[in-house]
Structure 1
Amino acid sequence: MRANRIPTEEIRREPAAFDDRVTADGRFGRAAEPGRFRLVVSRACPWAHRVVVTRRLMGLEGAVSLAVTDPRQEDIDGDPHWVFTEETGSPGDRDPVLGIHALREAYLARDPHYDGGVSVPGLVDVDNGHLVSNDYDRLSLDMATEWGGLVRDGAPDLYPAPLRDEIEALGADVYRDLNNGVYRAGFAPDQAHYDAAVAGVFARLDALEERLAARRYLVGDTVTMADIRLFTTLVRFDSVYHGHFKCNIRKLAEYPALWAYARDLFQTPGFGDTTDHDHIRIHYYYVHTGINPTRIIAAGPDPRGWLTAHHREELGGSPFGAGTAPGPVPEGERV
């Protein structure tokens, strides 16, 4: 389903069109090399945001460069496309490294006959301009576990082996009811589909509120992939999912534990410093003309609330465990 059309059936996510893996040892055919790959993202997209957070926490900014598309997208042949514009730092409306205007060009460089959808994130091979992968989950996991000596000293263990089963079990529930559930509600084709989806969203939020009332992080005592997966939905909830997607039974700010948890993460290096509230609001309200035909962009909420005290440190735990916080955001990537 295209987001700029009136929904006629429940939204369904297509599997990643390209899912080549990049690892330090190159055992899947592609080796992680400094400067070899460029990560194309939209700062509005929660799925791309997962990879951006992981890249920053692991200190991979110097190994894989970042390209940011315009939040508004551009209509090409009747479909919206992720494009580079001067407004977002691309001279001549082309990415200065890849030389492309639309991410679709990297898809077609990989497969000239490709006629499917185009999604972010996209990992692109700088040498030949081919898309390597648009599999956001595998990209995150591999950057967290498979990039070997390219990660920074003090990088955290975001996917601890003893906790992986719990991380994945919880992640499946959160994906079904919340990460994807907000989209199923927002793009529901009828009342029955909306009612079912929104009920699932708030049942999951209620369960997470209870889980986080007495523990600082979702799984274990440090930040893990489970927290990254949840954060990128929570940080968009009150600004776009609550109003634009009609998930308005309660606001995130009305959940004491969840709201404090989200602020705790936001104030942790790697999370808030990769979040662009303006891109989020602009993209959702401008691009989804099927549910917002006027393209009027909502003004709020005030993002300063994300910087208020959370007191979650009183629950124990520490964000990076035996590791350390990442250094300053690179100059060209500040939001």
Structure 2
Amino acid sequence: MKKILVTGGLGFIGSHTVVELQNAGFEVVIIDNLSNSKIEVLNQITSITGIQPDFYQLDLRIKNDVKNFFNNNTVDGIIHFAASKAVGESVEKPLLYYENNITTLVYLLQEMKERKLDNFIFSSSCTVYGQADELPITENAPTKPAESPYGNTKQIGEEIIKDSCNAYELNAIALRYFNPIGAHDSVKIGELPIGVPQNLIPFVTQTAAGIREQLSVFGDDYPTPDGTAVRDYIHVVDLAKAHIAALQRLINKNNKQHFEFFNVGTGKGSSVLEVIKAFETVTGKKLNYKIVDRRAGDITAAYADTTLANKELHWKTEKTLEEALLSAWKWQEKQ
């Protein structure tokens, strides 16, 4: 049984990926500093799979703690989620983002190099493309100057991994996510932002639940059919399964280069207003929303061409936008 380290494993995407790893027969060890997650998630994962993952509360910014972890644990691969991830916050707190997202990555890769470990999956983002010239976005699209410090940390992160792979013959895959939403079918894990949500769907569900008075729609003057920004919303369980596919590609030595990257989305763009209407339809809840000014760092439209991931990873999405929205609402109701 292969043992996989999942950093940030109690977070939204991390927890769903831990469940899918366990379902696929992997042993899992989690590192999380609980800065944007809750320890209760560990019990929820255990209640879904019947297996309690090993857990270390550890801050990856502390180099000695990272070294001590690897002195005491042997792993067959790493899936690295631990990072700060809000575009707006990154504009306000760039140094926090550079410290949290870059130094932690470097410390992990240093340990992998020293110990001759392999199989690294990086949680990247479609933000590396900026506002792409052509839609849907393929992996051949150029990366553009980042619109936010968050996006920049993903670009720099990929460059650091690529250089490390070339120098030390590590094998790594970066998955460039589009917009993960939804919750596990069990409704035991889902997206639980601490404080004011930075992403659309938790703000939608919290508004529907009466926690937030009003949903802000940032801009209706984009050059899109209804004027609101367009994104590719992928169910988090589909996204989690992409990590298993990528990991198995590395473990089975099916990768064609030391460093590879894949788009992970549905291939379909939905505008903010389309998402709001779809949510109202599947839940029967009316949303109180208001059009406000555009937000710094936001782009007009982004949705994936997933041909490469479908072919090379033998992976594709299975769940619809409506299923994802309904699961997100059921999760919110449970809270």
Q: TM-score, with normalisation over the residues of structure 1?
A: 0.30
Structure with the bigger RCO (C-alpha within 8 Å, sep 6+) is 1
The structure carrying a bigger strand percent of its residues is: 2
Q: TM-score, with normalisation over the residues of structure 2?
A: 0.30
